[in-house]
Amino acid sequence: MMTPLNTPTATVLAAETSEPNLLIPHWPDIIWSLVIVVIIGLVFYKYALPKFQAVLDERTAKIEGGIAKAERAQEEAAEALKEYHQQLAEARADAAKTREEARAEGTVIVAEMRSKAQDEASRIVETAHRQIEAERQTAAVSLRTEVGSLATELASKIVGESLQDSARQSRVVDRFLDELEAAGDESRSAQATPVGKEG
């Protein structure tokens, strides 16, 4: 028969009492481990966690500050772009206004220059007409004097007597020149009539 000590249960019990079990620690080890974990947790909560929180808060503040800064920069850029477009529109309006003013001034200057040129041309034509008239009158006087002296000589030869008397000479010359002018007027009107009929 077997003795109670030789049974397999007894062997297991004997082994349990003599060797420690690795899977189930002893109660004092569990309690001390819990105490150490609580102390480490309190130290972590008291000292390390606030530092981590401060670092995280600082990073959050930097990120939020960077976002706010970027938003401000974006708003400033939008404002600058708006101001640039406004200045560009004003510059275009000023350029258009200046161009229109220059065009108007150019038109006025051209009109003034035309007017001056027409006035100058009229003055030149008038001066030329006066000069031609003066030359014509000078030529007529010169011709009248020359024709008068020739007519006197011719009349003296034809009549056979001397026309030394100035009154008589003047009457003969005037009558001769009047006849010449009348003949010249008739020939000019005869020449002008066919030209007028053709036109």
- Domain ranges within the chain, ordered by starting residue: 27-179
Q: Which residues of the chain have pLDDT under 70?
A: 1-18, 20, 155, 159-166, 168-169, 192-199
Q: What is the pLDDT of residue 1?
A: 44
Q: What is the pLDDT of residue 36?
A: 96
Q: What is the pLDDT of residue 20?
A: 66
Write down the pTM of the prediction. Answer: 0.36
CA 26/CA 20 separation, integer angstroms? 8
Q: What is the pLDDT of residue 33?
A: 93
Q: What is the pLDDT of residue 72?
A: 92
Tell me the backbone φ, ψ of residue 45, rounded to 5 degrees.
-65, -40
Nearest to 177 by CA among 138, 158, 151: 151
